[in-house]
Amino acid sequence: MTGQATTPSSEPIAIERLTGTVLAVQANYYWVQLDPGSPIPATCATQRLLCLRRARLKKVGQQVAVGDRVVVVEPDWQGQRGAIEEVLPRRSWLDRPPVANVDRVLLVFALAEPTLDPHQLSRFLVKAESTGLAVTLCLNKRDLLSAADCQQWRDRLRNWGYDPLLISVYQKQGLQTLHEALSGQTTVVAGPSGVGKSSTIGALIGTDLRTAAVSGKLARGRHTTRHVELFELPDGGLLADTPGFNQPQLTCGPAAIPALFPEIQQRLAIAPCRYGDCRHHNEPDCAVRGDWERYPFYLELLEEAIDYEAAQERQRQTESSFKRKIQRDGREVLEPRLNSKRFRRTSRRLQHQAIEETDDL
């Protein structure tokens, strides 16, 4: 009789599988926050484990990103380490920066220092809308403007289709309303540098984050966040701090642009355009063209999207003219595809066959 040898009174040991959320990624290491209720020994003082990715995930090209829900095995409670065996299905995905399972985009701008630029704000709003997630607009440093100026900005942005939350981290104004808007959700925080993103996150989570002063020469903030990281909110929910950047790039075709403007959607809900594929430019009987503030910006983005689509088509055509070849050192290079009729010699076997067929005739 054959079978698995066991010691007397022993039982099969089950592999301990835990689930959690990736809070941060640094090089090849992943900080995972285990779910509440996980079977953690009483001697372990934390629910966070520093994990590696299993080699199997690397082989299949499975990326592990901040926000991913993962299965952790082989926990070393004393060393506070583990291994990520599986990445659970994602409900949403952002590729720049890579964050998984996000519910909302919190766009943070400053009313002053640096001065609020409507053109830059519009770019960030359009990029946020392109994610397909809910968008919350937060304007910091309201203490630097008068009540009348703050109300003017609020009314102006409502005409854009947004109801902004005006806060002051310095004077702790409006933070409770922001808490309530983000509670129980995973939110990615975006916005230009120097507007107080890290200070806002610090005020929400109750911890001071590393910040830097606004550059006086450039009149904009220095970059302070170097990598994506999730922070827990006291009332439930997670915040993803992202590296600051000043001009987000739009990567979509012209057909997708109208859906990124709430003003256009409001107008189309009242009266549709004559043509279903209307670009709201020079088409007759267009319900969108008119005297609304961001219409010139819409036309600007439309031209950018047309140029982007043309560039993508040129790239596809260029790639079809090349073939990928792996060098001995593992590098991948592109080589032009040769026209066999012009650049390649006919094999001698085919030449002999042609001669024999001619002789038979």
pLDDT class of 209 with cuts at 50, 70, 90: low
Question: Any known ligand binding at 146?
Answer: no
Question: Any known ligand binding at 325?
Answer: no
Question: Any known ligand binding at 281?
Answer: no
Question: Any known ligand binding at 198?
Answer: yes
Question: Any known ligand binding at 196?
Answer: yes
Q: Which has more pLDDT, 246 or 138? A: 138
Question: Any known ligand binding at 321?
Answer: no
Helix (H) or strand (E) holding 164: none
Q: Is the pLDDT of residue 335 over 80?
A: no
- Two tokens at 104? 């909302």
Q: Once rounded to an integer, what is the mean pLDDT over residues 51-76?
A: 91
Distances (CA, A) of 286 to 280, 289, 323: 6, 6, 45
Question: Any known ligand binding at 360?
Answer: no
Question: Any known ligand binding at 41?
Answer: no
- Which backbone phi and psi does 326 adopt, to 5 degrees? -95, 120
Question: Any known ligand binding at 278?
Answer: yes
Question: Any known ligand binding at 127?
Answer: no
pLDDT class of 354 with cuts at 50, 70, 90: low
Q: Is the pLDDT of residue 159 over 90?
A: yes
Tens of pLDDT, residues 78-120: 889 999 999 999 999 988 778 999 999 999 999 999 999 999 9
Question: Any known ligand binding at 291?
Answer: no
- Two tokens at 70? 């993962």
Sign of the dihedral through C-alpha 16, 47, 175, 127: negative
- Two tokens at 279? 């670009």
Question: Any known ligand binding at 330?
Answer: no
> How buried is 76 (Cβ within 10 angstroms: 0-12 exposed, 13-18 middle, 19+ buried)?
exposed
Distances (CA, A) of 79 to 21, 44, 76: 19, 10, 5
Question: Any known ligand binding at 101?
Answer: no
Question: Phi/psi class of residue 74: alpha, beta or left (left: φ > 0; alpha: ψ in -120 to 50)?
Answer: left
Tokens 């007397």 locate to: 8
